[in-house]
Amino acid sequence: MKIATIGLGYIGLPTAVMFAKHGQEVIGYDTNKEVITRLQSGFIHIEEPGLQKAFQSVLANGRLRPVNQLEKADAFIIAVPTPHTADYSCDTRYIRQAVSDVIPLLETGNTIILESTVAPKTTTDVIKPILEAGGFMVGRDVHLVHCPERVLPGQIMTELVHNNRIIGGVTPECAIAGASVYQTFVKGEMLLTDASTAELSKLMENTFRDTNIALANELVKLSAELGINALNVIEMANKHPRVNIHAPGPGVGGHCLAVDPYFITTAAPEQTPLIQAAREVNNHMPEYIADSVERITNKTAKKIVILGAAYKGNVDDVRESPALKIAEHLQQRGMEVHVYDPHIACYNINPEKAFANADLAVIATEHEEFKHLPMRLLKSMANMQIFDTKNIFEGEHEKLTYITLGTLHRFVNRPQLQS
């Protein structure tokens, strides 16, 4: 089987590699010429454990070819970005362009698979009409499928194989065709359904998590006000066999949790007040963290070092990153802010310079490197204080003041200096 993967980002590239690794002929196409050039030279442009080695292997044996121009194939997998528009609805321009690029290459029996996360009914109401305008009857001439990715950055190479896959066909025959493509390597269950159900299922998976995190973040604010350790509350509540409160944090980022719920709320705003409220809670968390920094330092802080720029630990993805939003809020309040992230080139600054004379270090990303910080860095601070919004730090020192979202109440309720 020959497979063309369109879009070689955080999902498209690992997917292309996985198909090639399991014996398929794969071409990888991206409109970013720099990405293609880098891949052709043997180097990936994203950080994902195990991906570089696997990519080099399939590049060397010719199973995967990064190309500047699309070719005919048996299956076309579209994994392009779907950002939100100004009103937070789903921006389908990259998808529409990809489908238009595929049409001249289509032959009877081909399968077009959309992996990009989209608003409900995008497959049937946006993609299907484009194909039919190009002269192809979906379900008869070609198969059209929505198969959303369901992987966790940092574990993509494992989860691509072992996670269940939702195969949403425009027709039952389309779903069967889509399943035949993924069965080349997927060991999880194939869940065949219609395209619109597949779209909404993916959105609700991330909306569930976003809403649960919002509940935990609201608990942090409530507990800080009442003088209670929120993390202890969560630990106790989760001892109940049917309770699973998620971990609170400085907000949510990435394309999924920070964006996907909007694809639902903009499609049906009157029916989604709870989802909208959860979005507001999580959107406000970076500002709340900035407020807390002021209260922890009694509004005397001049320099802050933020540890992490990525939206989650051990990856290099800064999309919708709460850490960067915290930095913006603190800079707006007149503080000198240094953002240090060893996983991202532009933020991999000199840590000695970042920590020197800092009044507070804020752990905003759960990178492995931040679980233990060199004592020389902590001792160089003006005040040896860590505000750990991820509850990951494992070091200790008698002079270190360590604050988490659980112990925040000890600092935000004390008398404050007048501005």
DSSP 42-66: T--SS--TTHHHHHHHHHHTTSEEE
pLDDT of 416 reads: 56
The CATH number given to whatever domain includes residue 164 is 3.40.50.720
Residue 355 is assigned to a structural domain of this protein: yes
Residue 208 is assigned to a structural domain of this protein: no
- 233 pLDDT higher than 70: yes
pLDDT digits (tens, 9 = 90+) for 338-387: 999 999 999 999 999 999 999 999 999 999 999 999 999 999 999 999 99
Among residues 195, 225, 253, the one where a domain terminates is 195
Q: How many folded domains does the chain comprise? A: 2
Residue 28 is assigned to a structural domain of this protein: yes
Report the catalytic residues: 202, 256
Residue 172 is assigned to a structural domain of this protein: yes
Same domain, 294 and 392: yes
Which structural domain, as residue segments, surrounds residue 69? 2-195
- Beta partners for 112? 76, 144
Among residues 195, 229, 244, the one where a domain terminates is 195
Predicted TM-score (pTM) of the model is 0.91
Same domain, 191 and 286: no
- 419 pLDDT higher than 50: no
In angstroms, the CA 324 to CA 310 distance is 8
Confidence of residue 413 (pLDDT cuts 50, 70, 90): low
Least confident of 148-157, 196-205, 400-409: 148-157
pLDDT of 417 reads: 52
| Tokens (6 digits) for 379 | 């001792």
Q: Residue 198 contacts by C-beta under 8 Å, 6 or more apart in sequence? A: 123, 146, 147, 148, 166, 167, 168
pLDDT digits (tens, 9 = 90+) for 283-329: 999 999 999 999 999 999 999 999 999 999 999 999 999 999 999 99
Same domain, 190 and 284: no
| Backbone torsion region of residue 307, taken as left when φ is above 0, otherwise alpha when ψ lies between -120 and 50, otherwise beta | beta
Mean pLDDT, rounded, for 224-240: 97
Residue 243 is assigned to a structural domain of this protein: no
Q: Are strands 303-307 and 165-169 parallel, antiparallel or unpaired?
A: unpaired
Residue 399 is assigned to a structural domain of this protein: yes
